[in-house]
Chain A
Amino acid sequence: MAVRPASTDQALPSCSLSCEALVIDVPGRADGQPLSFSIEPGSRWGILGPNGAGKSTLLHTLAGLRAPRHGRLRLDGQPLTDWRRRAVAQRLGVVFQERHDEFPASVLETALIGRHPFLRAWQNESEDDVQRALGALEHLDIAHLAHRPLATLSGGERQRVSLATVLTQAPQIWLVDEPTNHLDLHHQVATMALLDEQASQGAAVVMCLHDLNLAARWCDHLLLLYPDGAACWGPRDDMLVTSALERLYDQPLSVAEVDGAAVFMPRVASSLNSPRPTKEVSHDAHVPYDAVPHDTDSEER
């Protein structure tokens, strides 16, 4: 790939993000299960859950964009709230699902805002910044759109501009809300490969995903977020328990093996009678939902 490795010319060392008894603030919902885990450099976390479970809220809370209800976050061991926002932005980048394109801007201008945390107020983007942005556009296959107005892009192109913006920012921690939104199959894979590449260069990547199979294929850690606030998390293989996933989405699943990996398919009503595949649950991690005693329920209700 043509892009320079984003991490090498960045003087910043790898960062870790950890949460301690974190309870996210979902308005109108009782406190969920406190979350305590650490996202280490090089890891790829996937947040799974049905609509409305609070995936985006959790992601924004991890980014420090909204206050948690309880608990706290640490960036490199320091409480996140003690960091200056600019310093956080030099280390942590967020790809949002929603965008505000009320004001006209070109693709290149949009990618260049990724350099904002590294520039002083009066500074203009340097030639080097422009090169970084162009490299990021190149990496996402949209260099030819550099001078196009955002308003003329398709949804998938716009999504890749958002990814290119964070790639230009080159953070050590990526928080990505639905990275494959609007993307065709090829670009879904390319995008996951990009995030994978970032992780292998030492970045920590956290993504909210709708697609169970993308999570199964590209993540090494998973966090399952249930609509009632319950959660479990751990290494991927411990989390991919069919019964837990069925409970997560309230949807029966079929499992097949393709190219040596498990693939989950929703089961339609007619096939409900086929035997449910089972898998042995390993208990060395935080255990999937249906395997734990429902101790959180009593707190909630």
Chain B
Amino acid sequence: MIICRSLVSASAGLVLSALASAAMASSSPGGYEDICVVDDTERELCLSAPAERIVALSPSVTEMLFAAGAGERVVGVVSFSDYPEAARSLPQVGSYDRLDLESLLALDPDLVVAWAGGNPGQQVERLDELGLPVFRSDAANFEQIATTLERFGRLAGSADIGDTAARELRESVAALGERYVDAAPVEVFYQVWEQPLMTVNGEHWISRALSLCGGVNLFADEAPLVPRLSREAVLAADPEVIITGGMGKADSTWLDAWRQWPQMTAVARDNLYFINPDLVQRATPRLVEGTRALCQHLDAARERR
């Protein structure tokens, strides 16, 4: 397998919008042309044939590979890769933040999909040095999730499934946007964590998902992607709705903590909503499902006005 990789000198936005067409042009089924894609760190990755043994280095990447039709080719994952069900039984190569390079190599992968924002840089660089083809993924919004699905499909020889998944995702998002285009705005506090109290800023996909159906993130202007807040700031902002993922799938103890301030609008109207964090806190196609759930909560809040 011939591998070439080079840094593409173009801005991220340009690359992301251009790469779908570029990638499509170079892949002809059954042919011997290289499959070339540009990853989320602007590196070009070329495979001489579709990848057959893929290792995914984050739970989100695993989800997206499965969604792009490459599930059967995934031979290794990291811990907490619990979706879809089939991923649970795959061999693990450590956790996303501490990789076991040895067991990774032992799987003899022909493609490693890393998480640019989460895996230790040193260890990913080590994979480069060992000559493994590495795709660095860092999807952070609907459009990037869609292009990721397209690129994954291309790399795994399942371009049709990947493209379909991407199209469906774009259509669902567009449909949501149309449905809520005139929806009354609802001021929302999305709680990521309890101690310390954390939320998301306007750049985060959760904030964008909320704004899709009329949610207004009260802390959209904070500088960090995941700002830490004082409880005072939240009381002062007085959100109409508080949504949190809690620590587990059915854990809503964080919401109960707000009930000691009945003067808050969200508490007074009982607009305290729990959402499955796996649906919104991972940037994967399931975010559409999560967004629908968020929108339903906002609808419920509008009815309580």
> Do A and B interact directly, with beta carbons closer than 8 Å?
no
